[in-house]
Structure 1
Amino acid sequence: MNPLITAVELMSASAGAQPPVLLDVRYQMGGPPGRPQYEAGHIPGAAYVDLEAELAGPAGKQGRHPLPDVEAFGAAMRRAGVRSDREVVTYDGGTGWAAARAWWMLRWAGHYSVRVLDGGLPAWTAGGGALAAGAPPVAEGDFVPAPGALPSLDADGAAALARRGVLLDARAGERYRGETEPIDAVAGHIPGALSAPTMENVAEDGRFRPAEELAERFAGLGARGEVGVYCGSGVSAAHEVLALAVAGIPAALYVGSWSEWSSDGSRPVATGPQPG
């Protein structure tokens, strides 16, 4: 199943007999909270999900956005109305990063059908979609997580994959090369990783490039066999895992990502461009 859904497709599905569960995951690192934006206007029927409080555990040695407690995650998804027998559609303010993190978490936790609204809320409104205000009550869901349905990596697994397979760094190229590091204490990348900025997977309007273009891009990076992805804290990397899925390439997510790797002084750090 295509892990993306267009605004037109979502409008049709929402008018059907069994509409999908909608999750509004608007989030901006260092920006204003997403809940006030949600309450000001969201896709009708959507429930708000807080990335930092519900899609990640407390920041620490395992990174800025480690996996949350599984039971707490399941409870949050049930509060948001997620059901095991109902498709889920996630969306955010347009970048797709937070929506992709929600997509990955639910798929990793065993939900069979999750898609991301391509282009996010701007695509919905551009297509004439209505918005609802406030925070209406949501019927309790029944989803119970069964972790491990999608592959994930820890730091040792990421290091090993960089040696035997393909480990992609989804951050901006200058962060990969170690020219700048605006967030973490150490600049650079995991030795053996390849630079593959996730922003190159989308067009100017924030929508994903066609599957054929994505497949060509990842083929040029040698993304075949075992593939893994990391970023700063496991959010934009989820977006790259989603892009790989669109291209038909399964990939593992290193959830701790650079924020975990760089906090361990025993881990090696590489800088500069990747070998030609």
Structure 2
Amino acid sequence: MNPIISADDLAAELAGEQPPVLLDVRYQLGGPHGRDAYDAGHIPGAVFIDLDAELASPPGIDGRHPLPDVGVFGAAMRRAGVSAGTPVVTYDAAQGWGAARAWWLLRWAGHGSVRVLDGGLAAWEGPLESKAPEPTEGDFAPEPGALPLLTADSAAALARSGVLLDARAPERYRGEVEPIDPVAGHIPGAVSAPTSENVDEHGRFLPAARLASRFAALGAEAGTEVGVYCGSGVSGAHQAVALELAGFTPALYAGSWSQWTQDPARPVATGPDRG
């Protein structure tokens, strides 16, 4: 299934016989809480999902955004009206990271019909509403494991045996700056692949062929085992969307750099090379 949907196609589906469940996952690292923006105006019918509280566990030794408790995640999805056979569309208003996190979690938990609104809320030209909907409770029961997941050890191994992409900004990969985590640098063997290069100037994903060419230049060709990580597993999910568009089923290291650096024994590489 195509992991993205255009704003025009979304409008058509919302007017159809089986409209998708809409999840508003507005999130900005270090920014204001997305609930206020949601209350000010959202796509009609969209339910707000709190990334920190419902799409992640509290920060700790597993990183800044560990995978959520399955019970908490399932309850949030059912509250939003998600059922096993109901299509779901996620969106946010920034880089697409929050929407991609919800997309990845639903796919990982066994939901087969999830898409990200390409270009986010900025691409939507229809009306907005401020009233929160009251959807009928869904029946979605998460069954984790439908998408591959990496641990710190398997991420380290994949960086040598396949291709492990680092979705963070290039300067963080090189170790020149680290505004969030305690150590700067990257996992040895990982390849720099910032999410900003997956999209055009409007925040829409590049065509599949261009994405495939991009990843091939980074060493990810047909048949290659590919993984991705970022700072805390959020922007890495956005990279996973781009990789799926390009024809891959990537493994996500959800703990990412924020978990890797919790263990001082783990090696760290710096500079532009894989290390």
Q: TM-score, normalised by structure 1?
A: 0.97
Show structure 2 runs of 5+ residues with no match: none
Cα 1:70/1:58, change in 2 over 3 Å: same
Q: In the alignment, is the contact (CA less than 8 A) between 2:27 and 2:94 conserved in 1?
A: no
1:79 matched residue in structure 2: 79
CA–CA distance in structure 1, aligned partners of residues 165 and 105 of structure 2: 19
Percent identity for Structure 1 against Structure 2? 70
CA–CA distance in structure 2, aligned partners of residues 71 and 51 of structure 1: 15
Aligned mate of 2:136, from 127, 134, 139: 139
RMSD: 1.0
Deviation for aligned residue 1:275: 5.3
The alignment covers a number of residue pairs equal to 273
Matched, 1:31 2:28: no
Matched, 1:151 2:148: yes
Q: In the alignment, is the contact (CA less than 8 A) between 2:46 and 2:132 conserved in 1?
A: no
Write the deviation string for residues 134-189 of structure 1: whole angstroms up to 9, x where unpaired: 22212111100000000010101101111111000000000000000000000000
2:217 matched residue in structure 1: 220
CA–CA distance in structure 1, aligned partners of residues 274 and 179 of structure 2: 24
Deviation for aligned residue 1:199: 0.7
Q: In the alignment, is the contact (CA less than 8 A) between 2:5 and 2:115 conserved in 1?
A: yes
2:192 matched residue in structure 1: 195
Deviation for aligned residue 1:2: 1.0
**Structure 1 segments of 4 or more deviating over 3 A?**
none
2:166 matched residue in structure 1: 169
CA–CA distance in structure 1, aligned partners of residues 207 and 18 of structure 2: 28
2:7 matched residue in structure 1: 7
CA–CA distance in structure 2, aligned partners of residues 21 and 159 of structure 1: 37
Matched, 1:65 2:65: yes
Write the deviation string for residues 102-145 of structure 1: whole angstroms up to 9, x where unpaired: 00000000001000000000100xxx311011222121111000
1:245 matched residue in structure 2: 244
1:266 matched residue in structure 2: 265
Q: In the alignment, is the contact (CA less than 8 A) between 2:188 and 2:274 conserved in 1?
A: no
CA–CA distance in structure 2, aligned partners of residues 37 and 162 of structure 1: 39
CA–CA distance in structure 2, aligned partners of residues 77 and 154 of structure 1: 25
Give the partner amino acid of 1:208: F
SS across alignment from 2:267: coil
CA–CA distance in structure 1, aligned partners of residues 188 and 59 of structure 2: 24
Give the partner amino acid of 1:192: G
Show structure 1 runs of 5+ residues with no match: none
